[in-house]
Amino acid sequence: MPTPRAYKDNILCIEGDFGDKTTESGIIIKSTIGKDEGIAPRWFKAFEVGPDIDWVKPGQWLYVEYGRWTEGFTVKDDRLEEGAKLWKVDPDACMMISDDDPTQNTTNIGSISSMKPDDI
C-alpha cells in the first residue's frame, strides 16, 4: 500500500478545525463554514513534514491563514484512522505553532469590529 509522504517543503496535516464544537458543558457551537465569519485561519495538526522544513515536527499544531490549504482528501494509511482527511498546507501561510491541541478550548466565532465614540 502506498504511504503518503511529504517531500521538499511540503507539510501534510490532519485534524483540520472545520466542524461543530461541543463545550464541556454540552453547548453545541455550529460550524461557521460557508458564512462570512467562516473566512478565518484554521488549526491543523502536522502529520508528515518534508525534509526542507526544519521549524515544525509531526504532531505539532499549525495555525494557517484562511484558504492556504488544499481540499481535504482521504488515503489508506495504517497511521490514519479510517476516513481521516489529509490537507497540504502552505508553509508560508503558517502563522503560529503549538505543541498542544489549541482546538480543545477555543472556538472561532467570527470577527469583531470596533468603533470609536465619534463614529456613532
Q: Rounded to the nearest 5°, which phi and psi values hold at 44?
A: -135, 150
| CB-based burial label for 11 (10 Å; 0-12, 13-18, 19+) | buried
Residue 66 placed within a domain? yes
Residue 115 placed within a domain? no
Residue 6 placed within a domain? no
Give how many domains the chain has, as a whole number.
1
Residue 113 has pLDDT above 60, yes or no: no
Q: Are 75 and 56 a contacting pair, CB within 8 Å?
A: no
Residue 53 placed within a domain? yes
Residue 99 has pLDDT above 80, yes or no: yes
In whole angstroms, what is the distance from residue 86 CA to residue 84 CA? 7
DSSP secondary structure code for residue 36 in this structure: G
In whole angstroms, what is the distance from residue 88 CA to residue 61 CA? 14
Residue 120 placed within a domain? no
Residue 79 placed within a domain? yes
Query: Model confidence over 11-59: pLDDT tens digits?
Result: 999 998 876 666 677 765 655 555 555 578 889 999 999 999 999 999 9
List alpha helices for the chain, DSSP H: none
Residue 118 placed within a domain? no
**Which of 12, 24, 4 lies closest to 60, judged by CA?**
12
pLDDT band at 102 (very low <50, low <70, confident <90, very high): confident
Range of the domain at 45: 11-103
Residue 49 placed within a domain? yes
Residue 107 has pLDDT above 90, yes or no: no
